[in-house]
Amino acid sequence: MTNRIFYTKPSITQLETDYAADAAATGWGARCYDYINRFERDFKTYLGSDFAIATSSCTGAMHMGLAALGIGEGDEVILADTNWVATVSPIVHLGAKPVFVDVLPDSWCIDPEEVERHITPKTKAIIATHIYGNLCDMDALLEIGKRTGIPVVEDAAEAIGSVYHGRRAGSMGAFGTFSFHGTKTLTTGEGGIFVTSDGALYERVLTLSNHGRARGQTKQFWPDAIGFKYKMSNIQAAIGCAQLERVEELVARKREILAAYMVRLSALPGISMNPEYSGTINGAWMPTAVFHPSTGTTREMMQQAFEAANIDARVFFYPLSSLDMFEDRPENANAWSIPGRAINLPSYHDMSEADIDRVAATLLEMAAGRTYHNSTALRRSV
């Protein structure tokens, strides 16, 4: 049996180990925030934003950012139906209503025309999720935001290394959020970060992030509001500092892997992958293959083929509106159609050329019908 190919795992070197060991040995008392402060400083410099707050998760960063915008009961927040549940959970926790709209068929990111069509007097924010490292049409979204006065928020959880016409993903909206989960290009194990160039918004989130204790409050243990506890640990931040020193290398390897898949699968008709348009850079967090409906290729066929080849198969996100806790929105045709004919491809940093060959060959053989031409896998509408 061949070794199993995992869909992702982090790239950890001696540098990360050394920094984490130093934080564990010395990062206490007066030094308990040393690596956190350093990580926040270095990350905002890398991104080109003025402020950053390290958090325990991207979800927590989104929760605090939306709360600081004043979003609450009766408000509406527009977001792409193609999303992980982490993007919608903070909206629901704040008592607001998520409004799911369709995505573009090529980038799989939120459709600006659909955003515009769903704006109401209750709309208080628009979330632009850069899915799998693909970039939203930020010019169109920011123009809508400027014209309507509705803040555009960037969910850049999956988009470190992605660049939109000279601006890094996460640096363009009212605020941005990133994930450093163990599956991400840059990891702290668990973790995230809130970034913004709005000083007033930063101060509100900073207060919320410390149990509601304002930075200028002189009374000890005196909260000025009900806040949150979404802090990153010093040891996590130490790993993040090491990863950030290597970020260009980490992103470059992800981009190499995506390019390698594109070369190997280029002869396969009816397949599309993560796009990279003129003036942009795709951080390529998760190489994804989407088959045209005319091919008859289904998610289940690909899952079976990968399982037989001892390869992890990670499915494309189901539309949020298909989940039991929400009302179905099948009119979001792309968000409902794409997952049933798509698959995420393995892309960990130390994949060998032979690993990439094996993944690509599995898809090519399946598409050619040599292995699964009689597949009876059930097709799902989503």
Number of C-beta neighbours around residue 12 at 10 A: 16
Structure tokens given for 19: 């920094």
The answer to whether 209 and 3 are in contact (CB under 8 A) is no
C-alpha to C-alpha distance for 126 and 147, rounded to whole angstroms: 13
CB 85 within 8 A of CB 91: no
In angstroms, the CA 59 to CA 53 distance is 13
CA distance 151 to 145: 6
- Residue 135, classed as helix, strand or coil, is coil
> CA 316, CA 83: separation in Å to the nearest integer?
9
52 φ, ψ (degrees, to nearest 5): -150, 145
What are the Cα distances from residue 196, in Å, to 47, 49, 148, 284, 311?
A: 10, 6, 20, 23, 39
- Which residues are known to be catalytic? 184
